[in-house]
Amino acid sequence: MKPVPTLQDIIGIEYSKLGFFREAQERITQLRTYAEELARKKQQIQAILDAITDVMLVLDLNYRIVSANNVYFKVFDHPFPIGRYCFEALRKRREPCNLCPATKALHNNSVQRQEDLIETLDGPKHLEITASPIKDGSGKPCHILLLKRDVTVEREYRRKCYEAEKMATIGLLASGVAHEINNPLTGIYGFSQALKRRLQNNRHKIPVDFAEDVELTLNIILEECRRCQDIIQSLLTYSRESPTTFTLVNLNELVQESLKLLKHRLAGNKKRRLTLNLDPHPTFIKGNPQQLKQLILNLVLNAIDATSDGGHIKISTRICRTDSVELEVDDDGCGIPDEHMSRIFDPFFTTKPVGQGTGMGLAICYNIAQNHGAYIKVHSQEGRGSKFIVVFPESKR
């Protein structure tokens, strides 16, 4: 027979129950605190991920998107990427991409990088793609971290830097070549003139036919020497780095003065029209007047050559909101083929027939623009015409 529980026994059991519930309540409070802290950490991590300016995606091993940061929605137009294949959401393809960095990352279990041109909401962009395998506890890939960084502007800066270095190198070479050629050329020109004078003084001693042949030959030599001297002068102008004096000049006035020099050339073709659209306000920039006139002349001469069969040339100046000043020379002539666009500022590059151009005009324009802290924008379409815009960095009214 079991003993009858006393009052002390009953109180002890209830006390134990009370202690259990108190401990459970403390655990619940502790778990709630942990859950709140975890939620804060999750929000903090998400804020960090959203603050990253690159597109960031997490893929599973089947290339389905598990997670995407907010930047994705600003770059790509697929509104619901989660659960989609990456090649479907990013490239609008039905099958994996060739040379996919995510595939390489999985295969090699290492970080893979490559650069590609990808269509975005803002048009085609050069994106640097980095694929990193996310590993589990055993070191095997379980997910893929995909980062896409826009390097379009960076590529453009690299291209401009390369062009500047290339032009500087060509300038040094051109200067050396010009000086080396100029010395013997001066001798040829001088001796040819001396021979021509002696021929004139001794014509009565020489058969008429022979004298005419010699004079014709000497005239050709002298003419070709003068053409070579023009080329050498262009080379020296292109490569010269002597300090130039910059003053405050009105671009409008320089345009009008330059056009006076081309008055007869412009009037030589009745089918060609010229429109002048100058900013009503004075377009002041800091520059060297002679160099700027040469830049204007070269651009207008190019437009004249492009409209040799007739056309319309428009010359404009304007002050932009950024306080920069633009000079625009626009024509509806023959235009520039796409395959030539990357070479138009290279010295000696020309599509004109032999003897009609040295290929130094735009190269000199490029150099003068660089000296003035300006840059040249070109828009051209073969058969439709060309537009050259020189952007000067600052103006003072």
Same domain, 134 and 193: no
If DSSP codes are grouped into helix, strand and coil, which group holds residue 121? coil
**Given strand 65-68, what is the order of strands in its sheet?**
65-68, 55-59, 141-150, 123-135, 112-120
Quick one: 144 and 167 in the same domain? no
Cα 148 from Cα 72, distance rounded (Å): 9
For residue 380, what is the domain's CATH number?
Answer: 3.30.565.10
Tell me the average pLDDT across 106-134: 87
Q: Return the closest-CA partner of residue 74 out of 52, 58, 102, 93.
A: 52
Could you tell me if 162 and 147 lie in one domain? no
Nearest-angstrom CA–CA distance, 327 and 282: 13
More confident residue, 397 or 294: 294
Helices (H), the chain: 7-51, 70-75, 86-91, 101-108, 152-201, 208-239, 251-261, 263-267, 289-306, 361-371
pLDDT of residue 387: 95
pTM of the model: 0.49
122-156 burial: b if 16+ Cβ within 10 Å, else e: eeebbbbbbbbbeeeeeeebebbbbbbbbeeeeee
Q: Is the pLDDT of residue 77 over 60?
A: yes
Residues 252 and 339 in one domain: yes
What share of the chain in percent tops pLDDT 90?
16
Q: What is the pLDDT of residues 229-281, one digit of tens each?
A: 777 776 666 555 555 678 899 999 999 988 888 887 877 777 888 999 999 98
Range of the domain at 226: 157-239
pLDDT band at residue 67 using 50, 70 and 90 as cut-offs: confident
Report the C-alpha gap between 299 and 266 in whole angstroms. Answer: 13
Same domain, 269 and 371: yes
Structure tokens at 108: 């090699």
Report the pLDDT value the prediction gives residue 99, as an integer from 0 to 100: 81
N- to C-terminal Cα separation, the chain: 115
Say which range, 90-104, 212-226, 340-354, has the weakest mean pLDDT. 340-354
| Per-residue pLDDT reduced to its tens digit, 189-199 | 888 888 888 88
CA distance readout (Å), 114 to 67, 105, 385: 21, 11, 37
Are 327 and 381 in the same domain?
A: yes
In a domain, 38, yes or no: no
Q: What is the pLDDT of residues 317-374, one digit of tens each?
A: 999 887 889 999 999 988 998 888 888 888 777 776 655 666 778 888 888 898 888 9
| pLDDT for the residue 317 | 94
Question: Is the pLDDT confidence value at 24 over 60?
Answer: yes
Q: Does residue 8 fall inside a structural domain?
A: no
Measured from the Cβ of residue 255, the count of other Cβ atoms closer than 10 Å reads 21
- CATH number of the domain at 166, please: 1.10.287
56 in a structural domain = yes
| Of residues 113, 106, 112, 100, the one with CA closest to residue 140 | 106
18 is a domain residue? no
The mean-pLDDT minimum among 168-172, 214-218, 345-349 falls in: 168-172
Helix (H) or strand (E) holding 284: strand 284-287
pLDDT of residue 374: 92
Domain final residue, candidates 215, 239, 263: 239
* Residue 1 reports pLDDT greater than 60: no
Give 137's pLDDT tier (boundaries 50, 70, 90): confident
Task: Decide if 341 is inside a domain.
Answer: yes
Q: Are residues 215 and 319 in the same domain?
A: no
Mean pLDDT of the chain: 82
Last residue within a domain, chosen from 239, 274, 290: 239
CA neighbor of 299 nearest in space, from 163, 236, 390 = 390
Contacting residues for 99 by C-beta, under 8 A, at least 6 apart: 114
pLDDT of 126 above 80: yes
Claim to verify: residue 271 and residue 382 sit in the same structural domain = yes
Q: Report the number of distinct structural domains present in the chain.
A: 3
DSSP per-residue codes, 360-388:
-HHHHHHHHHHHTT-EEEEEEETTTEEEE
Q: Answer yes or no: do 217 and 115 share one domain.
A: no
Q: Of 111, 135, 151, which marks where a domain is finished?
A: 151
The partner residues of 180 in beta bridges, in order of sequence, read none
User: For tokens 């994996």, what's the residue?
Assistant: 96
pLDDT at 316 over 90: yes
Judgement on whether residues 218 and 144 belong to the same structural domain of the protein: no
Residue 13 domain-assigned? no
State the average pLDDT over residues 98-126: 86
3-class SS at 292?
helix
What would the two tokens of residue 390 be? 């020189």
pLDDT value at residue 49: 67
| CATH number of the domain residue 65 falls in | 3.30.450.20
386 and 367 part of one domain? yes
In terms of Cβ atoms closer than 10 Å to its own Cβ (0-12, 13-18, 19+), residue 207 is: exposed
pLDDT over 70 (residue 169)? no
Q: Residue 183 domain-assigned?
A: yes
Asked whether residue 98 falls in the same domain as residue 83, the answer is yes
- What pLDDT sits at residue 354? 56
- Does the residue 188 lie in any domain? yes
| Pairwise pLDDT comparison (43 vs 297), residue with the higher score | 297
CB–CB of 54/149 below 8 Å?
Answer: yes
Residue 375 forms beta bridges with which residues?
391
